[in-house]
Amino acid sequence: MRPSDRAWIALAAGVIAWDAFSPDDEMLSDASRRYTDSHRVLWPLAIGYTAGHLVHVWPERFDLFTQAARLFGR
């Protein structure tokens, strides 16, 4: 198993743990709904942009996640 595979498992486990044991029974999707209500354009764009990064839609020079990783030492 590669390190990035372990990172995905840790991320999924963190989301499941938060949703299972969150204070006030507020799951992450509840927070996302609240963000959508207050930022009707920005939040869905941020989610879409992140999804585009994960499926390699953006050229590297326009991918802010890739550029940030390079900037901070990758």
The predicted-structure confidence for 30-42, as pLDDT tens digits, reads as follows 999 999 999 999 9
- Residue 25: pLDDT band by 50, 70, 90 thresholds? confident
**DSSP letters of the chain?**
--HHHHHHHHHHHHHHHHHHH-GGG--HHHHHHHHHHH-TTHHHHHHHHHHHHHTT-S-GGG-HHHHHHHHTT-
